[in-house]
Amino acid sequence: MASRTPAPGRAWASGAMGRARCDSVGLCGHPVDLELSDSRAHAFGHVQSSASHPPGRGRQILVELLKPFGPGAATWAHKLINEFGSLAAVLAATPCAQARILGEGNPAIRHLDMVRGVMLHVLRMQMQDEPVISNSETLIDYLFAEMAHLPAERLRVLFLNSKNRLLGDEVMVEGSVNEVPIYPREIMRRALEIGATALILAHNHPSGDPAPSKGDIKATERVADAARTLDIQIHDHVILARGGWTSFKRLGLL
């Protein structure tokens, strides 16, 4: 977001690394849920690789999903799991990313994309059933599935009402591989149009590193300043990447 200035080393709080558990059920199961109003808990959720967390059950499910599309199902599943680390991450990956592993034109890719669409629909429905910040695991699952494997940066804004229920979920800006511009005035204008009183910002890092850059921090500060004048609350800014996610609230940056 804004100009990409690599953060020196790791930008999350020292000693506060909460490693996530990826399995066949959710996209990222966290030992401690991300509570957006509490910045004291773990600042970083990490998607473990297959080497550190063998996703045996996820691999079996993926084989079953791919069996109707050819005798190479087991080989395809093995390659996908090895590349992305878990069934959840395979389903979160874009068709283009999957095609780099399975080859262009593989019929299994379209099927996986349909499964991903169903998964996203279910997660959206779960978010709409209750206040967004009361089920932070579902929020992270949804954002990770939507954004973690995108080839270019994208800024998404979740608009909430006074009861923190979802009013709108919109992509505000499409950026490049290493930056996305942010326009606080446009975000505030849209918030006023739909009557939002709170926001959650989210964007992705195609580099795979979810650590916020100096540009990310400055841009978020500008949005927070603009929101403050309109009595709109910024609950959090979440950065998603193949390597996991970070929360500005957890890092004490909001």
Q: What is the pLDDT of residues 232-247, one digit of tens each?
A: 999 999 999 988 899 9
- The residues with which 155 forms a beta bridge, in sequence order, are 173, 203
Give the span between the Cα atoms of 58 and 69, in whole angstroms: 18
The identity of residue 60, as a single letter, is Q
> What is the structure's pLDDT at 53?
44
Give the span between the Cα atoms of 116 and 71, in whole angstroms: 22
- Which of 96, 84, 76 lies closest to 22, judged by CA? 84
Q: Quick one: what percent of the chain has pLDDT higher than 90?
A: 42
The identity of residue 175, as a single letter, is G
Structure tokens at 139: 């929020």
pTM of full prediction above 0.85: no
- Reported confidence tier of residue 121, pLDDT bands at 50, 70, 90: confident
Pair type for strands 44-46 and 17-19: parallel
> What is the structure's pLDDT at 134?
64
User: 24 by DSSP, 3-state: which?
Assistant: coil
Burial zone of 21 (CB within 10 Å; 0-12 exposed, 13-18 middle, 19+ buried): middle
Residue 186 scores a pLDDT above 70: yes
> Do 73 and 81 touch, CB atoms closer than 8 A?
no
Give the span between the Cα atoms of 11 and 201, in whole angstroms: 18
Structure tokens at 11: 């930008």
Name residue, tokens 């270019």.
152
Residue 74 scores a pLDDT above 50: yes
- Reported confidence tier of residue 102, pLDDT bands at 50, 70, 90: very high
Give the span between the Cα atoms of 243 and 246, in whole angstroms: 10
Q: What is the pLDDT of residues 21-50, one digit of tens each?
A: 332 223 333 322 333 333 223 345 544 333
Name residue, tokens 């087991």.
74
> Do 245 and 140 touch, CB atoms closer than 8 A?
yes
Return mean pLDDT, the chain. 77
The identity of residue 123, as a single letter, is L
**At CB < 8 A and 24+ separation, what contacts does 3-11 make?**
3/179, 3/215, 4/178, 4/179, 4/213, 4/215, 5/213, 5/214, 5/215, 6/213, 7/211, 7/212, 7/213, 7/214, 10/211, 11/211, 11/212, 11/213, 11/246, 11/251
Give the span between the Cα atoms of 94 and 29, in whole angstroms: 21
Q: What is the largest CA-CA distance in the chain?
A: 60
User: 204 by DSSP, 3-state: which?
Assistant: strand
